[in-house]
Amino acid sequence: MNTLKLLSAFLKVNIQMSLAYRTDTVVNILLNIMWLGWELLSLGIIFSNTETIGGWGFGELIALLGVFRLIHTLMIALIWPNTEKFNQSIRDGSMDYTLLQPINSMFLVTFSRITVWRIWDLVLAAVLIVVGLNMAGDIVTPLNLLSFLLLTVSGGVVIYSLWIVLIALTFWFTKFDNNVTILQALLDAGRYPVTVYPVWLRIIVTFIIPIAVATTIPLQALRGDLNLSRVLIFLVVGIVSFLIASQVWKAGLKRYSGASS
Amino acid sequence: MLKIFQRLWQVNWAEQWQYRANLIMYLLYWLVSPVIYLSVWTSIANSKGSVNGLTANDFITYYLTLLIVDQITSNIVIHTFAYKVQDGSLSGELIRPIHPMLTNALVNNIAFKALTIMGFIPVWIVLFFLFKPDFSNVSLIGILLSIPAMIIGFFVGFLLTAAITSLAFWTTRVYSIHEFYYALMVLFSGQFVPLTLMPKIIQDIAQYLPYQLQIYFPIQLILGKLSSAQIIQGYAMGMIWLVIGLVIFNWVWRNGVKRYSAVGA
């Protein structure tokens, strides 16, 4: 309950902050639309030369683009702004005040900044998924839809957990302020089904920086490519990675000694 | 003059060397999308035999060459300069008898490049063995022809982004303007796909724009895919854009600095 109240307070503060920069918000939305146009055009160029890539059709790739944008939004609306603030707070010692608050520090560090206008990206993503699936003509059973939704959430949790681990590393290596770049760099691999990648890249984006777990795999569930036991495994992976991440965070906090000492 | 450059080089090299850990991240960042495009297009070419006459090997050599060319012709001036205008740290540089952009920022960029190229060589060799390209089309003459083309490409790109960066004298939204410029680069440079696979209209426009000078033109030179008429046209476009770049940059810079001193006073 407390958490929800806090979250809505964060949202309010962040809305106020973004209202101070209205023109920037408009400019950003325009740029966002421009990139969407480019993404659709690039898919169009690919599919003017072929009917399928990695066994997936045009509609399915549009739906994948939608799922990709969900994770992209997580990255850009939550991960980037909070990481920036976190790195700053490690450098100047203002992390001390965060730790003094009577709230779970992990929650506080990861949710206090939200780039609010990016939320419209989620709507866009949903539209892309629905339109894409319609174009592909796939029949979606309620069970597949349910496993898609669960796996999308679980994939998001996996990425979130990886993020926690990466920023927690800053407690050990103070100079590591490039902590999320690796995530951002590999994120683009989520635009296409991992089946098109060479094996080594597929291994990296499935097991090491598991972008695919949040993009290709939920969509595979939606298409009915995954059997029930696979779906359950990926759900467990989501839960386990979150548990590991919070342990790493706790261990990291013990290492924290403030900026001046 | 030479001494000034030598000093600037030492300072900028030392400055960049501090950030060598960031370098690994930068390399990764810059590596991923060409490798993704390479994978997508080779997978299509393999399943269909060829795409519009391009085989899987054509795509592999294209993107592996792109990595080199992009490394040489790109610049980071928006990231290393715009904030100086915004936080006022440019003032100190303006009173020195050297040009902040055409000397200091330029040398800084080249030092950054020299460092990244050092890190880049082993990475490229690994990619070479992973993708096993057949570079038998590449001739010495193509490589020699591409070197001046890449230098022109770098300076055209540098002058144009320097001009955009200098818009920071007027607006704080300079990063958004640069993002728009970059989107055009993605569309017209051949970064996503060899331009011959782009819609006809984009190809027609692209040959008159500066973007392909930084990516597509040098790549095609190295891979030996251009006729002599196309080579002459490419170089001519390069010279024209070099002049345009110089004029635009000078104009924006001169007026911008005037404004800057007005604001600072």
Specify the pLDDT at position A176: 67
The closest CB to that of A181, out of B29, B31, B51, belongs to B29
Does residue B132 surpass a pLDDT of 80? Answer: yes
- Confidence band of B212 (pLDDT split at 50, 70, 90): very high
Q: What is the pLDDT of residues A189-213, one digit of tens each?
A: 899 999 899 999 999 988 888 888 8
Q: What stretches in chain A show pLDDT beneath 70?
A: 1, 174-177, 258-261
pLDDT above 90 (res B111) = no
**Angstroms from B22 CA to nearest CA on chain A:** 7
- Put simply, the answer to whether B52 touches A185 (Cβ < 8 Å) is no
Sole residue written with tokens 């918000």: A25
Instruction: Name the nearest CA neighbour of A28 among B167, B177, B29.
Output: B177
Across the range B26-51, mean pLDDT stands at 89
Closest chain B residue to the Cα of A182, Cα to Cα: B25
What's residue B9's pLDDT? 85
In chain B, % of residues over pLDDT 90: 59
Write out pLDDT tens, residues B217-241: 999 999 999 999 999 999 999 999 9
Query: Is residue B202 within 8 angstroms of chain A, CB to CB?
Result: no
Chain B residues with CB inside 8 Å of A197's CB? 36, 39
> Distance from A208 to chain B by nearest Cα, in Å?
14
Contacts of A49 in chain B (CB under 8 A): 44, 48, 51-52, 197
With contacts defined as CB-CB under 8 Å, which chain B residues touch A45?
Answer: 192-193, 197-199
Chains A–B, number of C-beta pairs less than 8 Å apart: 79
Query: What is the pLDDT at residue A96?
Result: 84
Q: Residue B4's pLDDT band (boundaries 50, 70, 90)?
A: confident
Q: Which residue has the higher pLDDT, A254 or B214?
A: B214
Q: Do A178 and B192 touch (CB under 8 A)?
A: no
Q: What is the predicted pLDDT for the residue at B10?
A: 85
Dihedral, CA of residue A21, residue A24, residue A30 and residue A31, to nearest 10:
-140
Q: What are the φ/ψ torsions at residue B109 (nearest 5 degrees)?
A: -60, -40
Q: What is the mean pLDDT of residues B99-124?
A: 88
> Are the C-beta atoms of A182 and A209 separated by less than 8 Å?
yes
Residue B265: predicted pLDDT: 45
**When comparing pLDDT for B21 and B114, which is higher?**
B114
> How many CA atoms are closer than 13 Å to the CA of A173, on its beta-carbon side?
10
Contacts of B36 (CB under 8 A, 6+ apart): A188, A189, A191, A192, A197
Query: Residue B181: which H helix or E strand, with range?
Result: helix B174-188
- Put simply, the answer to whether B28 touches A53 (Cβ < 8 Å) is no
Asked if B20 reaches chain A (Cβ–Cβ under 8 Å), the answer is no
Over the stretch A128-140, which tens digit does the pLDDT of each residue have? 999 998 888 877 8
Complex confidence, ipTM: 0.87
The span from the CA of A242 to the CA of A160, in Å, is 8
Residues of B with CB below 8 A from A192's CB?
A: 36, 39-40
CA-based nearest residue in chain B for residue A185:
B29
Greater confidence, B150 or A84? B150
> Is B176 at the interface with chain A, CB within 8 A?
yes
Band of residue B262 on the pLDDT scale cut at 50, 70, 90: low
Whether the pLDDT of residue B263 is over 70: the answer is no
Contact A192 B198 (CB under 8 A): no
Helix axes of B20-48 and B2-18: crossing angle, nearest 10 degrees: 80
